[in-house]
Amino acid sequence: MTDAVSYLRRQFPDVNTTEAVALMGCHSLGQLHPEISGFSGQWDRVPVDIDNGYFRNMLSSGWTLTPVENDIVDSSQWFRSGRHFAMLHADMTLYKDYTLFEDGNINCARDSCPNSNTASTVMNFGRQANLFVQAAATAFGKMINTGL
Ligand code: HEM
Q: How do residues 24-53 score in pLDDT, each as one tens digit?
A: 999 999 999 999 999 999 999 999 999 999
Helix (H) or strand (E) run with residue 77 in it: strand 74-80
Å from CA of 75 to ligand 1 middle:
17
Please tell me the predicted confidence (pLDDT) of residue 124: 98
pLDDT of residue 1: 67
Q: What percent of the chain has pLDDT over 70?
A: 99
Best mutation site among 26, 43, 54 for ligand 1 pocket (most ligand atoms within 8 Å of CB): 26
- CATH number, domain containing residue 65: 1.10.420.10
| pTM of the model as a whole | 0.97
Backbone angles phi, psi at 71, to 5 degrees: -65, -25
Q: Of all residues in the chain, what percent carry a pLDDT higher than 90?
A: 97
Burial of 100 (0-12, 13-18, 19+ CB in 10 A): middle
The total domain count for the chain is 1
Measured in Å, how far apart are the chain's first and last C-alpha atoms?
27
Distance separating alpha carbons of residues 30 and 33, to the nearest angstrom: 10
Ligand 1 proximity of 144 Cβ (cutoff 6 Å): no
Q: What is the mean pLDDT of residues 115-128?
A: 98
Q: Residue 134 sits in which domain range?
A: 3-145
Instruction: Give the distance (Å) from ligand 1 centre to CA of residue 27.
Output: 6
pLDDT range class, residue 147, cuts 50, 70, 90: confident
The per-residue pLDDT for range 86-108, each reduced to its tens digit, is 999 999 999 999 999 999 999 99
According to DSSP, the residues that pair with 87 across neighbouring strands are 78
